[in-house]
Amino acid sequence: MNTFWQDINYKVFKSGSKLYLLIAINVAVFLAINVPGILAGLFTRGDYISTLTYEYLALPSYLPKLLTRFWTPFTYMFMHAGILHILFNMLWLFWMGQIFEEFLGNKRIVGLYLLGGLSGAFLFVAAYNIFPVFTQSGALLTSSAIGASASVMAVIAAAATIVPDYTVMLFGILPIKLKWIAIFYVVLGFWGITGPNAGGEIAHLGGALFGFTYVKQLQKGHDWIGSISSLFKRKSKLKVVSNNQERNSNAAPRQEDVDRILDKISKTGYENLSKQEKEILFRASKK
Protein backbone atom coordinates (compact mmCIF):
# COMPACT_ATOMS: atom_id res chain seq x y z
CA MET A 1 0.00 0.00 0.00
CA ASN A 2 2.86 2.37 0.84
CA THR A 3 4.42 1.68 -2.55
CA PHE A 4 1.11 2.48 -4.24
CA TRP A 5 0.82 5.88 -2.56
CA GLN A 6 4.50 6.59 -3.10
CA ASP A 7 4.03 5.92 -6.80
CA ILE A 8 1.05 8.28 -6.96
CA ASN A 9 2.94 10.95 -5.00
CA TYR A 10 5.88 10.70 -7.39
CA LYS A 11 3.77 10.93 -10.54
CA VAL A 12 1.63 13.82 -9.29
CA PHE A 13 4.27 15.97 -7.61
CA LYS A 14 7.74 14.87 -8.69
CA SER A 15 7.57 13.38 -12.19
CA GLY A 16 7.50 16.78 -13.86
CA SER A 17 4.34 15.89 -15.80
CA LYS A 18 1.43 18.22 -15.05
CA LEU A 19 -0.93 15.72 -16.63
CA TYR A 20 -1.04 13.59 -13.48
CA LEU A 21 -1.66 16.70 -11.38
CA LEU A 22 -4.72 17.62 -13.47
CA ILE A 23 -6.10 14.10 -13.17
CA ALA A 24 -5.45 14.09 -9.41
CA ILE A 25 -7.29 17.38 -8.94
CA ASN A 26 -10.31 16.11 -10.88
CA VAL A 27 -10.44 12.87 -8.89
CA ALA A 28 -9.97 14.69 -5.58
CA VAL A 29 -12.82 17.12 -6.33
CA PHE A 30 -15.08 14.26 -7.43
CA LEU A 31 -14.42 12.32 -4.23
CA ALA A 32 -14.71 15.40 -2.01
CA ILE A 33 -18.20 16.07 -3.36
CA ASN A 34 -19.60 12.58 -3.81
CA VAL A 35 -18.26 10.63 -0.82
CA PRO A 36 -19.80 13.02 1.76
CA GLY A 37 -22.92 13.16 -0.43
CA ILE A 38 -23.32 9.38 -0.31
CA LEU A 39 -22.75 9.30 3.44
CA ALA A 40 -25.24 12.12 3.96
CA GLY A 41 -27.76 10.24 1.83
CA LEU A 42 -27.71 7.41 4.37
CA PHE A 43 -29.21 9.71 7.02
CA THR A 44 -31.31 12.10 4.93
CA ARG A 45 -33.71 11.71 2.04
CA GLY A 46 -31.86 14.12 -0.22
CA ASP A 47 -28.24 14.60 -1.23
CA TYR A 48 -28.02 18.25 -0.16
CA ILE A 49 -24.21 18.30 -0.41
CA SER A 50 -24.21 17.54 -4.13
CA THR A 51 -27.10 19.95 -4.63
CA LEU A 52 -25.25 22.81 -2.95
CA THR A 53 -21.97 22.18 -4.76
CA TYR A 54 -23.80 21.97 -8.09
CA GLU A 55 -25.57 25.24 -7.34
CA TYR A 56 -22.39 27.14 -6.54
CA LEU A 57 -19.73 25.42 -8.67
CA ALA A 58 -21.55 24.57 -11.92
CA LEU A 59 -21.47 27.11 -14.77
CA PRO A 60 -24.88 28.81 -15.23
CA SER A 61 -25.95 30.06 -18.65
CA TYR A 62 -28.12 32.90 -17.26
CA LEU A 63 -25.95 36.03 -17.16
CA PRO A 64 -27.41 37.65 -13.98
CA LYS A 65 -26.76 34.41 -12.10
CA LEU A 66 -23.32 34.06 -13.66
CA LEU A 67 -22.38 37.50 -12.34
CA THR A 68 -23.00 36.24 -8.81
CA ARG A 69 -21.11 33.00 -9.57
CA PHE A 70 -18.18 34.59 -11.39
CA TRP A 71 -15.80 31.80 -10.31
CA THR A 72 -17.80 29.04 -12.03
CA PRO A 73 -16.07 29.30 -15.47
CA PHE A 74 -13.09 27.79 -13.63
CA THR A 75 -14.76 25.46 -11.15
CA TYR A 76 -17.14 23.80 -13.62
CA MET A 77 -14.25 22.18 -15.50
CA PHE A 78 -13.26 20.13 -12.43
CA MET A 79 -16.73 18.75 -11.68
CA HIS A 80 -18.43 15.62 -13.02
CA ALA A 81 -21.95 14.25 -13.02
CA GLY A 82 -21.08 10.62 -12.31
CA ILE A 83 -18.45 7.91 -12.23
CA LEU A 84 -18.61 7.18 -15.98
CA HIS A 85 -18.42 10.89 -16.77
CA ILE A 86 -15.14 11.37 -14.92
CA LEU A 87 -13.77 7.95 -15.95
CA PHE A 88 -13.95 8.59 -19.70
CA ASN A 89 -12.84 12.20 -19.39
CA MET A 90 -9.75 11.23 -17.41
CA LEU A 91 -8.92 8.34 -19.73
CA TRP A 92 -9.00 10.60 -22.79
CA LEU A 93 -7.07 13.28 -20.93
CA PHE A 94 -4.41 10.73 -19.99
CA TRP A 95 -4.10 9.22 -23.48
CA MET A 96 -4.10 12.48 -25.45
CA GLY A 97 -2.22 14.44 -22.80
CA GLN A 98 0.73 12.06 -23.06
CA ILE A 99 1.00 12.71 -26.79
CA PHE A 100 0.70 16.46 -26.28
CA GLU A 101 3.42 16.49 -23.63
CA GLU A 102 5.71 14.33 -25.77
CA PHE A 103 5.74 16.96 -28.50
CA LEU A 104 5.36 20.23 -26.60
CA GLY A 105 6.72 19.41 -23.16
CA ASN A 106 4.96 19.43 -19.80
CA LYS A 107 4.75 23.19 -19.27
CA ARG A 108 1.81 23.91 -21.56
CA ILE A 109 -0.85 21.31 -20.76
CA VAL A 110 -2.21 23.08 -17.66
CA GLY A 111 -2.65 26.28 -19.66
CA LEU A 112 -4.27 24.34 -22.50
CA TYR A 113 -6.63 22.62 -20.06
CA LEU A 114 -7.69 25.89 -18.42
CA LEU A 115 -7.99 27.97 -21.58
CA GLY A 116 -9.78 25.15 -23.38
CA GLY A 117 -12.27 24.96 -20.51
CA LEU A 118 -12.74 28.73 -20.53
CA SER A 119 -13.32 28.70 -24.29
CA GLY A 120 -15.95 26.02 -23.84
CA ALA A 121 -17.57 28.07 -21.06
CA PHE A 122 -17.62 31.19 -23.23
CA LEU A 123 -19.23 29.43 -26.20
CA PHE A 124 -21.78 27.73 -23.93
CA VAL A 125 -22.89 30.98 -22.29
CA ALA A 126 -22.84 32.91 -25.57
CA ALA A 127 -24.93 30.31 -27.42
CA TYR A 128 -27.55 30.10 -24.68
CA ASN A 129 -27.94 33.88 -24.64
CA ILE A 130 -28.01 34.32 -28.44
CA PHE A 131 -29.95 31.51 -30.09
CA PRO A 132 -33.78 31.54 -29.83
CA VAL A 133 -33.91 27.78 -29.30
CA PHE A 134 -32.49 28.44 -25.83
CA THR A 135 -33.71 31.96 -25.02
CA GLN A 136 -37.34 31.28 -25.92
CA SER A 137 -37.67 27.82 -24.40
CA GLY A 138 -36.73 28.68 -20.84
CA ALA A 139 -33.51 26.67 -21.08
CA LEU A 140 -31.49 29.86 -20.60
CA LEU A 141 -32.82 30.33 -17.08
CA THR A 142 -32.23 26.80 -15.83
CA SER A 143 -29.28 25.36 -17.74
CA SER A 144 -25.78 24.90 -16.40
CA ALA A 145 -22.65 23.01 -17.41
CA ILE A 146 -20.19 20.80 -15.53
CA GLY A 147 -17.33 18.55 -16.59
CA ALA A 148 -13.81 18.57 -17.95
CA SER A 149 -15.00 17.63 -21.44
CA ALA A 150 -14.26 21.04 -23.02
CA SER A 151 -10.75 20.98 -21.58
CA VAL A 152 -10.23 17.38 -22.70
CA MET A 153 -11.48 18.24 -26.20
CA ALA A 154 -8.90 21.03 -26.33
CA VAL A 155 -6.18 18.46 -25.58
CA ILE A 156 -7.56 15.99 -28.14
CA ALA A 157 -7.78 18.65 -30.86
CA ALA A 158 -4.32 19.99 -30.04
CA ALA A 159 -2.72 16.53 -30.18
CA ALA A 160 -4.50 15.73 -33.45
CA THR A 161 -3.35 19.03 -34.94
CA ILE A 162 0.29 18.42 -33.96
CA VAL A 163 0.44 14.87 -35.37
CA PRO A 164 -2.77 14.19 -37.33
CA ASP A 165 -1.46 10.90 -38.73
CA TYR A 166 -0.29 9.49 -35.42
CA THR A 167 -1.92 6.07 -35.04
CA VAL A 168 -3.38 4.74 -31.80
CA MET A 169 -4.91 1.35 -31.09
CA LEU A 170 -8.54 1.99 -30.20
CA PHE A 171 -9.75 -0.55 -27.62
CA GLY A 172 -6.39 -2.25 -28.16
CA ILE A 173 -7.44 -3.75 -31.50
CA LEU A 174 -8.42 -1.01 -33.98
CA PRO A 175 -5.67 1.24 -35.41
CA ILE A 176 -6.97 4.75 -36.01
CA LYS A 177 -5.33 8.08 -36.71
CA LEU A 178 -5.70 10.97 -34.28
CA LYS A 179 -7.29 13.25 -36.87
CA TRP A 180 -10.22 10.86 -37.28
CA ILE A 181 -10.78 10.70 -33.53
CA ALA A 182 -10.85 14.49 -33.31
CA ILE A 183 -13.11 14.84 -36.35
CA PHE A 184 -15.48 12.21 -34.98
CA TYR A 185 -15.92 14.04 -31.68
CA VAL A 186 -16.33 17.43 -33.37
CA VAL A 187 -19.03 16.05 -35.70
CA LEU A 188 -20.68 14.28 -32.76
CA GLY A 189 -20.66 17.53 -30.80
CA PHE A 190 -22.15 19.54 -33.65
CA TRP A 191 -24.82 16.90 -34.18
CA GLY A 192 -25.92 17.21 -30.56
CA ILE A 193 -26.12 20.99 -30.14
CA THR A 194 -29.93 20.87 -30.23
CA GLY A 195 -30.21 17.62 -28.27
CA PRO A 196 -30.69 16.89 -24.56
CA ASN A 197 -27.03 17.70 -23.76
CA ALA A 198 -26.86 20.78 -25.99
CA GLY A 199 -24.89 22.85 -23.50
CA GLY A 200 -22.27 20.17 -23.02
CA GLU A 201 -21.84 19.62 -26.76
CA ILE A 202 -21.46 23.36 -27.38
CA ALA A 203 -18.79 23.54 -24.67
CA HIS A 204 -16.99 20.59 -26.31
CA LEU A 205 -16.87 22.48 -29.60
CA GLY A 206 -15.47 25.54 -27.84
CA GLY A 207 -12.68 23.48 -26.29
CA ALA A 208 -11.87 21.75 -29.59
CA LEU A 209 -11.76 25.08 -31.42
CA PHE A 210 -9.27 26.46 -28.92
CA GLY A 211 -7.03 23.39 -29.06
CA PHE A 212 -6.88 23.51 -32.85
CA THR A 213 -6.35 27.28 -33.00
CA TYR A 214 -3.68 27.24 -30.31
CA VAL A 215 -1.48 24.71 -32.12
CA LYS A 216 -1.95 26.49 -35.46
CA GLN A 217 -0.83 29.75 -33.87
CA LEU A 218 2.05 27.99 -32.13
CA GLN A 219 3.22 26.67 -35.47
CA LYS A 220 3.30 30.28 -36.68
CA GLY A 221 5.44 31.29 -33.72
CA HIS A 222 2.67 32.66 -31.44
CA ASP A 223 2.69 30.76 -28.15
CA TRP A 224 -0.33 32.08 -26.24
CA ILE A 225 0.21 29.85 -23.23
CA GLY A 226 3.97 30.44 -23.11
CA SER A 227 3.43 34.18 -23.39
CA ILE A 228 1.05 34.17 -20.43
CA SER A 229 3.43 32.04 -18.35
CA SER A 230 6.36 34.31 -19.12
CA LEU A 231 4.58 37.25 -17.50
CA PHE A 232 4.99 35.57 -14.11
CA LYS A 233 8.64 34.58 -14.51
CA ARG A 234 11.55 36.63 -13.25
CA LYS A 235 13.85 37.71 -16.04
CA SER A 236 17.43 36.62 -15.68
CA LYS A 237 20.15 39.29 -15.93
CA LEU A 238 22.51 36.78 -17.50
CA LYS A 239 22.83 36.57 -21.26
CA VAL A 240 24.06 33.55 -23.15
CA VAL A 241 25.54 34.02 -26.61
CA SER A 242 26.10 31.08 -28.93
CA ASN A 243 28.00 31.09 -32.17
CA ASN A 244 27.12 27.51 -33.07
CA GLN A 245 25.64 27.63 -36.55
CA GLU A 246 25.69 23.91 -37.25
CA ARG A 247 22.11 23.26 -36.28
CA ASN A 248 19.30 25.32 -37.70
CA SER A 249 16.20 24.37 -35.72
CA ASN A 250 14.01 26.35 -38.10
CA ALA A 251 15.08 24.43 -41.19
CA ALA A 252 12.31 22.43 -42.82
CA PRO A 253 12.97 18.69 -42.62
CA ARG A 254 13.07 16.67 -45.80
CA GLN A 255 9.76 15.10 -46.84
CA GLU A 256 11.34 11.66 -47.15
CA ASP A 257 12.47 11.89 -43.50
CA VAL A 258 8.96 12.83 -42.41
CA ASP A 259 7.43 9.99 -44.43
CA ARG A 260 9.91 7.53 -42.95
CA ILE A 261 9.08 8.61 -39.40
CA LEU A 262 5.31 8.47 -39.99
CA ASP A 263 5.72 5.00 -41.46
CA LYS A 264 7.67 3.97 -38.36
CA ILE A 265 4.87 5.32 -36.12
CA SER A 266 2.26 3.29 -37.99
CA LYS A 267 4.31 0.13 -37.53
CA THR A 268 5.84 0.40 -34.05
CA GLY A 269 4.07 3.32 -32.35
CA TYR A 270 5.11 6.84 -31.41
CA GLU A 271 6.78 5.77 -28.16
CA ASN A 272 9.55 4.02 -30.13
CA LEU A 273 10.67 7.21 -31.87
CA SER A 274 13.95 8.77 -30.88
CA LYS A 275 14.11 12.29 -29.50
CA GLN A 276 15.58 13.51 -32.79
CA GLU A 277 12.74 11.93 -34.79
CA LYS A 278 10.15 13.61 -32.55
CA GLU A 279 11.89 16.94 -33.09
CA ILE A 280 11.81 16.44 -36.86
CA LEU A 281 8.08 15.76 -36.75
CA PHE A 282 7.41 18.84 -34.67
CA ARG A 283 9.42 21.06 -37.04
CA ALA A 284 7.53 19.55 -39.98
CA SER A 285 4.20 20.42 -38.33
CA LYS A 286 5.28 24.08 -38.11
CA LYS A 287 5.82 24.39 -41.86
Residues 264 and 277 sit within 8 Å (Cβ to Cβ)? yes
Pinpoint the alpha helices (H) of the chain: 2-9, 18-41, 48-57, 63-68, 72-75, 83-104, 109-130, 132-135, 139-142, 149-162, 178-191, 198-219, 224-230, 255-268, 275-285
At residue 172, the pLDDT reads: 74
At residue 285, the pLDDT reads: 67
Tens-digit pLDDT string for the chain (287 aa): 567 677 777 777 777 788 999 999 999 999 999 888 888 888 877 677 888 899 999 999 999 999 999 999 999 999 998 999 999 999 999 999 999 998 888 889 999 999 999 999 999 999 999 999 999 988 999 999 999 999 999 999 999 999 999 988 877 788 899 999 999 999 999 999 989 899 999 999 999 999 999 999 988 888 888 766 554 455 544 444 444 443 444 556 776 777 677 667 656 666 677 777 777 777 776 65
Domains parsed from the chain with CATH numbers:
8-223 (1.20.1540.10), 255-285 (no CATH)
At residue 1, the pLDDT reads: 59
For residue 50, give the 3-state DSSP assignment. helix
| pTM for the model | 0.79
At residue 242, the pLDDT reads: 40
